[in-house]
């Protein structure tokens, strides 16, 4: 699974992201959080860095696997669009703990279970 840890990797042949998503507890429609949620006051901004996981998609020109999701808070990334996408390799990657040494989460995104 070295491809998942490599931020610059755009194509990840033979990686089953459906299996990775399922093993980490992602399901279509689940609420998820970005690791930066640890850095905000959630009482003041209760929805900050929360997202709705909508599933996986294939880029029709490049064949890249993408994750489709929707922010649960106001952000410029959804200006004039309904959803956002991120390369699956980046989405499922681990947090760069050298860049973010105070972050406790292992992965960039994780499901929020109540």
- Per-residue model confidence as pLDDT tens digits over 75-85: 998 999 999 99
The per-residue pLDDT for 1 is 43
28 Cβ contact partners less than 8 Å away, ≥ 6 residues apart? 53, 54, 55
Q: What is the distance between the alpha carbons of residues 87 and 53, in angstroms, rounded to a whole number?
A: 14
* Residue whose pair of structure tokens reads 């959630």 in the numeric block: 42
Query: Is residue 11 predicted with pLDDT exceeding 60?
Result: no
pLDDT in tens, 26-40: 999 999 999 999 999
The per-residue pLDDT for 13 is 63
Query: Is residue 50 predicted with pLDDT exceeding 60?
Result: yes
The answer to whether residues 40 and 65 touch, using CB atoms and an 8 Å cutoff, is: no
Helix (H, G, I), strand (E, B) or coil at 27: coil
pLDDT band, residue 9 (cuts 50/70/90): very low
pLDDT band, residue 10 (cuts 50/70/90): low
The per-residue pLDDT for 113 is 80
Q: What is the distance between the alpha carbons of residues 109 and 107, in angstroms, rounded to a whole number?
A: 6
Burial class (CB in 10 A: 0-12, 13-18, 19+), 36: middle
Q: Which domains does the chain have, with CATH numbers?
A: 2-111 (2.30.30.320)
């Amino acid at each position: 699974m070295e491809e998942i840890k490599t931020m610059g990797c755009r194509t990840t042949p033979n990686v089953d992201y459906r299996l990775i998503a399922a093993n980490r507890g992602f399901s279509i429609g689940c609420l998820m959080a970005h690791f930066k949620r640890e850095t905000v006051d959630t009482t003041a901004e209760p929805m900050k860095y929360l997202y709705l996981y909508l599933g996986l998609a294939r880029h029709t020109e490049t064949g890249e696997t993408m994750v489709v999701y929707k922010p649960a808070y106001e952000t410029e990334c959804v200006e004039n669009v309904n959803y956002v996408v991120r390369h699956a390799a980046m989405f499922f990657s681990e947090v760069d703990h050298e860049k973010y040494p105070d972050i406790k989460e292992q992965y960039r995104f994780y499901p929020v279970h109540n």
